[in-house]
């Protein structure tokens, strides 16, 4: 009996290992599919009140795991491996996460290249505000303040305090918001934030109108509001240097079925839209956040001399060379050729010596050719591709460049012909003279 116990334990641990979910990785070129998302809510009723948004994620193949934000079993990683690829944080009022999760763990999760959608409302806790601040979005510090706009509010029969905002001031980026323009305004009710000017990675995706301000609608305004006009960001997006993507919304209702289904009429405009732009906005933005769009990969970086196919280990100055790279974009299902006309390659040593826009065959192949500069040293082929909404590509390949060898210089220079002729005529004269001198009598 005693002998059997260890083996039983082993068996049990084996079973538990098998049953535990497979570890998840951040978006990787090799396995971009099968993505697990943890949804943290502070009320499970959100699951039904925001179901259209969640269903759109599920229908695109995501596995959502709903948990209460104070669930004591919360954990993002186990044995050093992350259990999820993305986090949807719809728990604005949570003041402390359950389990081992805390602000630094969320940050660590993003630092590991994972994606985050964060939505808050007027009950935003310090914890949630802190996470937003880490991503470069500073929410209004006044806990009672909401965004008010007396000029571009959504006309509604039931809502008179102008906190329901209809905004159509969207970031101009097809990759973030999809190719189809969002025509209807987007309904927003919540708190505003400003983007940290020191953070160049965070961008305003939905901006308030110039007449907006952030204040408590119930009390008199005694001092100027801290956030006003177009400096208020309603929804911001951030793409970190490791390509982790974060979306921060000051309104949780923006994602709700009620707003997604609501009709909208902007104040001062006669047009009534049957449906707000929210559904399109949240669906497209979520596609971007979870890397269904705008994720690029570069493969098959090649370079060779013109007329050859093999890649040399070294170039000589003034060689003509060809450089090519294939770039693909992840479409959510497969890698599609990426088509653009602004991919540039640099021939770089301390600073770019050559910077050239590559031509494309529209099938993902970008190529160009140029002459190696007449400076020798260790150069790099560099492709630094940063475009709004796309993941940044940074390719570098080192290649030395040597000067001419002694026998590679020009040999028969016409300007030197008089010197050659002089030498050879002297030599000829010497030959004749030696004969004449010895045998003349």
Partner 1 sequence: MAKPLVLHLLLLLICGSALLSSGSVIHPISDAHRSAATEFFVPAADGSFGSLEETYEALRTFQILGLDRSSAKFEGTCKTVSEKLSSPTTTKDLYHALKITAILGCRTESIEFDGITSRLQTAVKDASSLLELYYSLGGLLTVKEQGKDVILSDADGTFQAIKALSQSDGRWRYDKDSTGSSAFAAGIALEALASVVSLAGSDIDQSKIAVVRKDITKLFDRIKHYDDGTLYFDEKNVDPDQYKGPLATSASITSGVTAFAAVSSEKLNIGGEKILGLAKFFLSIGIPGTAKDFFYQINSLASLENNRISIPLVLSLPATVLSLTAKDQLKVEVTTVFGSHAPSLAVSLLKVLTPDSKEVTSFEKKELEYDPENRIHFLDLSPLKIDVGKYSLIFKVSVNDPEGADLYATGDQIIVTAFLTGFIKVDKAEIAVSDSDAASESVQKLDLSKESLISLSANHLQKLRLSLQLTTPLGHSFKPHQMVVKFRHESKVEHLFVPETSSRQYKLVLNFLGLVEKFYYLSGRYEIELAVGDAVMENSILRSIGSIELDLPEAPEKAAKPPAQPVDPLSRFGPKEEISHIFRAPEKRPPQGLSLGFMGLTILPLLAFLIGLLRIGVNFKGFPTSAAPATFAILFHGGIGAVLLLYVLFWLKLDLFTTLKALGFLGVFLLFVGHRTLSYLASTSAKQKTA
Give the footprint of partner 1 on residues 226-265 (CB under 8 A). Answer: 228-229, 257-258, 261
Closer residue to partner 1, CB minimum distance, 222 or 310: 222
Q: Are strands 77-78 and 36-41 parallel, antiparallel or unpaired?
A: unpaired
Query: Could you say whether residue 223 binds partner 1 (CB under 8 A)?
Result: yes
Query: Could you say whether residue 11 binds partner 1 (CB under 8 A)?
Result: no
Do residues 295 and 180 make contact, with C-beta atoms less than 8 angstroms apart?
no
Query: Could you say whether residue 342 binds partner 1 (CB under 8 A)?
Result: yes
Do residues 186 and 166 make contact, with C-beta atoms less than 8 angstroms apart?
yes
Query: Could you say whether residue 56 binds partner 1 (CB under 8 A)?
Result: no
Collapsing DSSP states into helix, strand and coil, what is residue 280?
helix
Closer residue to partner 1, CB minimum distance, 9 or 422: 422
Applying the rule CB under 8 A, the residues between 380 and 399 that interact with partner 1 are: 386-388
Query: Could you say whether residue 58 binds partner 1 (CB under 8 A)?
Result: no
Cα separation, 300 vs 186, whole angstroms: 42
Beta carbon of residue 353, minimum distance to partner 1 (angstroms, whole number): 5
Closer residue to partner 1, CB minimum distance, 180 or 220: 220
Taking CB under 8 A as the binding criterion, the range among 17-25, 147-155, 281-289, 321-329 that sits at the site for partner 1 is 147-155
Applying the rule CB under 8 A, the residues between 94 and 123 that interact with partner 1 are: 98, 121-123
Cα separation, 295 vs 113, whole angstroms: 13
Q: Are strands 272-273 and 295-305 parallel, antiparallel or unpaired?
A: unpaired
Taking CB under 8 A as the binding criterion, the range among 5-13, 68-76, 124-132, 241-249 that sits at the site for partner 1 is 68-76
Applying the rule CB under 8 A, the residues between 167 and 196 that interact with partner 1 are: 189, 195
- Phi, psi (rounded to 5 degrees) for 46: -60, -30
* Structure tokens that stand for 254 in this block: 């923006």
- The alpha-helical segments, DSSP class H, found in 241-309 are 257-261, 278-289
Closer residue to partner 1, CB minimum distance, 350 or 438: 438
Query: Could you say whether residue 66 binds partner 1 (CB under 8 A)?
Result: no
Pattern of binders to partner 1 over 33-52, x per CB under 8 A? ---------xxxxxxxxxxx
Query: Could you say whether residue 413 binds partner 1 (CB under 8 A)?
Result: yes
Do residues 347 and 363 make contact, with C-beta atoms less than 8 angstroms apart?
no
Q: Which residue of 371, 378, 400, 404 would you call a contact of partner 1, by CB under 8 A?
A: 371
- The alpha-helical segments, DSSP class H, found in 219-374 are 257-261, 278-289
What residues contact residue 363 under an 8 Å CB cut-off, 6+ apart?
Answer: 337
Cα separation, 42 vs 92, whole angstroms: 7
Applying the rule CB under 8 A, the residues between 266 and 325 that interact with partner 1 are: 318
């Amino acid at each position: 009996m005693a002998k059997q116990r260890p083996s039983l334990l082993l068996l049990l641990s084996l079973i538990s290992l098998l049953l535990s979910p497979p570890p998840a990785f951040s978006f990787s070129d090799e396995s971009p599919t099968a993505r697990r998302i943890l949804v943290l809510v502070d009320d499970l009723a959100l699951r039904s009140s925001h179901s259209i948004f969640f269903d759109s994620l599920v229908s695109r193949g995501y596995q959502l795991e709903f948990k209460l934000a104070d669930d004591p079993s919360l954990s993002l990683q186990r044995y050093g491996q992350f259990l999820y690829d993305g986090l949807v944080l719809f728990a604005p009022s949570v003041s402390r996460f359950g389990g081992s999760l805390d602000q630094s763990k969320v940050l660590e999760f993003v630092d590991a290249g994972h994606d985050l959608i964060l939505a808050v409302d007027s009950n935003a806790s310090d914890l949630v505000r802190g996470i937003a601040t880490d991503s470069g979005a500073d929410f209004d510090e006044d806990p009672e303040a909401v965004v008010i706009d007396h000029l571009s509010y959504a006309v509604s029969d039931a809502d008179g305090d102008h906190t329901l905002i209809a905004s159509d001031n969207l970031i101009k980026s097809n990759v973030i918001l999809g190719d189809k323009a969002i025509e209807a305004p987007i309904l927003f009710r919540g708190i505003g934030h400003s983007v940290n000017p020191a953070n160049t990675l965070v961008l305003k995706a939905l901006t308030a109108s110039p007449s907006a301000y952030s204040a408590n609608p119930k009390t008199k305004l005694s001092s100027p509001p801290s956030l006003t006009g177009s400096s208020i960001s309603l929804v911001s997006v951030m793409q970190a240097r490791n390509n982790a993507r974060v979306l921060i919304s000051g309104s949780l209702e923006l994602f709700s079925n009620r707003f997604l289904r609501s009709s909208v009429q902007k104040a001062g405009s006669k047009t009534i839209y049957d449906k707000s732009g929210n559904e399109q906005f949240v669906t497209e933005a979520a596609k971007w956040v979870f890397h269904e769009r705008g994720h690029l990969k570069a493969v098959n970086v090649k370079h060779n001399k013109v007329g050859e196919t093999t890649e040399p280990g070294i170039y000589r100055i003034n060689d003509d060379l060809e450089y090519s790279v294939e770039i693909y974009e992840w479409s959510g299902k497969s890698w599609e050729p990426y088509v653009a006309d602004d991919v540039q390659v640099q021939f770089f040593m301390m600073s770019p010596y050559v910077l050239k826009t590559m031509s494309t065959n529209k099938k993902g192949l970008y190529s160009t050719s140029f002459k190696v500069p007449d400076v020798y040293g260790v150069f790099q082929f560099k492709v630094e591709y940063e475009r709004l909404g796309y993941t940044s590509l940074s390719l570098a390949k080192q290649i030395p460049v040597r000067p001419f060898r002694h026998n590679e210089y020009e040999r028969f220079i016409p300007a030197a012909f008089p010197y050659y002729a002089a030498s050879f005529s002297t030599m000829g004269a010497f030959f004749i003279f030696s004969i004449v001198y010895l045998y003349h009598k």
